[in-house]
């Protein structure tokens, strides 16, 4: 039963399941955002598999173990961070419906990305310079 719930086996299954639609879309020359998202997920899973193989080496095994323990300890911070990001993104969607705002972002996912960009220090938004009315 531990075999089924092992993270590394789920990564292998994800690699197999993502390869089929990626190959079909690539053969059909259907290059759009769906294929790009599948390729990003596939690349992420490949790097996770690389980390799995780094555990074999004596020099890297302690680093990989430390990294996973750190992420495990930070899970509550990540949950809180996502809650704060969702709150700010919902506020941006409410502000979007104001008369004087004209953002190019769409839906909550776009605002989540905008909030994430702001939270990591990226303040170069071309769309926000015209968002604030100048006749106040």
Question: pLDDT tier at 3 (50, 70, 90 boundaries)?
Answer: confident
The answer, as to whether pTM is greater than 0.85, is no
The 10s digit of each residue's pLDDT in 17-75 is 988 888 888 888 777 788 888 888 999 999 988 888 888 888 888 888 888 889 889 99
Output the pLDDT for position 106. 54
Tell me the C-alpha distance between 3 and 47, whole Å.
21
Residue with tokens 């008369």: 99
Q: How far is CA 18 from the centre of its chain?
A: 17
Q: Provide the b/e sequence for 76-100 (b: ≥16 CB within 10 Å).
A: eeeeeeeeebeebbeebbeebeeee
Q: Is the pLDDT of residue 134 over 60?
A: no
């Amino acid at each position: 039963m531990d075999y089924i719930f092992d993270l590394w086996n789920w990564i292998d299954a994800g690699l197999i399941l993502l390869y089929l639609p990626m190959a079909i879309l690539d053969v059909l020359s259907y290059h759009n955002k769906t294929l790009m998202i599948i390729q990003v997920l596939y690349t992420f899973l490949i790097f996770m598999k690389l980390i799995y193989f780094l555990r074999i080496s004596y020099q890297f095994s302690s680093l990989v173990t430390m990294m996973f323990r750190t992420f495990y300890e930070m899970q509550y911070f990540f949950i809180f961070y996502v809650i704060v990001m969702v709150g700010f993104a919902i506020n941006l969607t409410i502000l979007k419906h104001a008369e004087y705002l004209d953002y190019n972002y769409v839906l909550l996912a776009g605002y989540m990305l905008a909030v994430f960009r702001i939270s990591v220090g990226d303040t170069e938004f071309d769309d926000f310079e015209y968002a604030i009315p100048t006749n106040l």
